[in-house]
Amino acid sequence: MSLLRYQAAGLVRSHRWIFPLVAYALLISVGGGGSGAQSLTDGLDWSAAILVPVAALLTRSMLTAEPAAARACVAAATGPARAQLATLITSFAGGAVLGLAGACYELTTSGHNSALLVPFAAGLGTALVCVLVGSAVATLLNPPLIRHPAAALLATMAAVILAWVSDVSPAHAALRGSGAPMASAAWPTGIPLLSAVALAAAAWTASCWLAGRRGD
């Protein structure tokens, strides 16, 4: 917990959370669904879709914000793999908080009645998928796997776009409604979430392993 608090404090001090927060707030206010269950679904999909680049940006910020000397000290004290995992958890938590706030905003602007609970729950699942995909994308395409800043940034941007439009992307499947609440032959209910969890777990494992190897 102390390591997570340290990483969270580092993110706050770096002020790199401001741009993702402001951008997310502006975009969901522009694309809000309005009143009605159908409009709520559209608004939740919109707010979830934005989470892919926002989560990727938060993750990239966490992976690059800490000075090399400070990162070396933390790695020496706690182990490089544990320090890397704490960094990834902190950025994921930030994206999840934004996703929850965005979903609640869409619900608030759509009114309050029991008919909205099902699309709201489905929207939370879609938001979680998008945060996981954004986290996985940035984890795979930034340090320690890709160290060149320009290459990492361009690769992250390209991967975010692919996550939106590619049929093999869990985020794309969830946003199209094939993951929840409806099912399809290609993406049965629940599979986008499971795929996103597996993708993020693989990305985090590779990143922590490589951080540990390079920290030896």
Q: Which residues neighbour 37 within 8 Å (Cβ) at sequence distance 6 or greater?
A: 110, 115, 116, 119
Helices first, then strands: H and E counts in the chain: 9, 0
pLDDT in tens, 17-70: 899 999 999 998 887 655 555 588 888 999 999 999 999 999 999 998 877 778
How large a percentage of the chain has pLDDT more than 90?
A: 52
- Does pLDDT of 179 surpass 50? no
179 within 8 A of 126, measured Cβ to Cβ: yes
- Quote the pLDDT of residue 51: 96
- Does pLDDT of 1 surpass 80? no
44 within 8 A of 119, measured Cβ to Cβ: yes
Mean pLDDT of the 184-213 span: 86
- Quote the pLDDT of residue 58: 94
